[in-house]
Amino acid sequence: MPAFDLAAQRIGVPFSPARSPHAAVLDANLTAWLNETSVVGDGAVARRVRAARFSDLIASVYPQAGCSELNLIGRLIVWMFVYDDHFDPHRLGLAPDRAHQAADQLARVLRSSGSPGSHEPLWHALDELWHQGFREVDPLLSERLADHLLVFARGVALEVSMRVDQKVPLLDAYIDLRLDTFAWLVLVDLIEVAEGIAVPQCIRNTDTYADLIRTTGRMMFLINDLYSLNKEIAAGETHNIVFVLQRKYSNELSEAFAKAVDLFRNDVVRFVELRTRLERMSLPQGERIAVSRHVRALEHIVRGELDWCRESARYRTGPASGEAFLDLEERPTS
């Protein structure tokens, strides 16, 4: 298999980089949280998580968040990364029953305060994070965020099932699934936590806004798929946009890679068009400001993801070896 060099493709976006002034505090707090909760233990998985420099990602994608909000967002995002990593092919990624059980367990934790149903640190960390950290979040946002977390977990489980069945989804089905496994709607919800603003419902209901969110989500997972391709080839992973395009067009992997790059570039153009359309809507000043801040937040997310994928060790190193310590038993708690 060839190695693919994205630097030669000059992948870019017309969005300025930003970084939270609380980045150093976030890094220290995430390190302390990982140590206190033991969600990654102290072996190869822990080394991989720390080498990924998730604090750099979070400080760039939510640069406007206050310090406490950034720490809360950071913990949830790292938790999702750790959860998702349990279902890599070399760990539990060939165990669909475990993946579906984990999604069920996630639902129980979100709905039942103080009773995670397992002694596994991952579930205790989520229970504390959700029921204490997010308890001040607006109830409607909290409900939507919980629903989208479950969509993420169900998507991961479906991906595991398809991997076991050796199914590579068709393009449209892959896009839908990848938006779920990327936890894209969770990341969009977290804009409201970071910025303290909500998109007016009249805008949320428009086709233009829905198209903008979907287009931005595609940009995000295309960045991730492109930068992780070499690693996924080595790991025998097939759930990547490049493999899906190769199957659709029956062409060489290098040609499919070029098509994926073109898809990303087309989505960048589409984003700018949709942004302009939203900005030209006739809105009261308060709603116009909220929409403008939301769009800028989407730009920060894309630019932060792109910069992090370029620099993070996560996509330059092989998969972490070691046992997956995801205990899915329901146990009575004392």
pLDDT at 74: 98
Task: Provide mean pLDDT across the span 206-227.
Answer: 97
- Residue 37 pLDDT greater than 60, yes or no: yes
pLDDT at site 46: 78
- Residue 9 pLDDT greater than 80, yes or no: no
- Report whether pLDDT(104) > 60: yes
pLDDT at 50: 82
Q: Is the four-CA dihedral 26, 146, 302, 163 of positive or negative sign?
A: positive
In percent, the amount of the chain with pLDDT more than 70 equals 90
- The reported pLDDT for the residue numbered 333 is 35
Segment 16-37 shows an average pLDDT of 96
**How much is the pTM?**
0.92
- Residue 163, pLDDT > 80, answer yes
Residue 109 has pLDDT above 70, yes or no: yes
- Mean pLDDT of the region 91-118: 84
- Which band of pLDDT confidence, cut at 50, 70 and 90, is reported for residue 80? very high
The predicted pLDDT at position 334 comes to 30
Q: Is the pLDDT of residue 331 over 50?
A: no
What does the pLDDT average to over 55-70?
A: 97
Q: Give mean pLDDT, residues 174-194.
A: 97
Domains in the chain: ranges and CATH: 20-315 (1.10.600.10)
pLDDT over 90 for what percent of the chain?
71
**pLDDT value for 168:** 82
pLDDT for the residue 332: 32
List, for residues 286-313, the tens digit of each pLDDT value.
Answer: 999 999 999 999 999 999 999 999 988 8
pLDDT above 70: residue 326: no
User: What confidence score (pLDDT) does residue 60 get?
Assistant: 98
Q: Using 50, 70 and 90 to split pLDDT, how confident is the model at 2?
A: low
d(CA 144, CA 298): 18
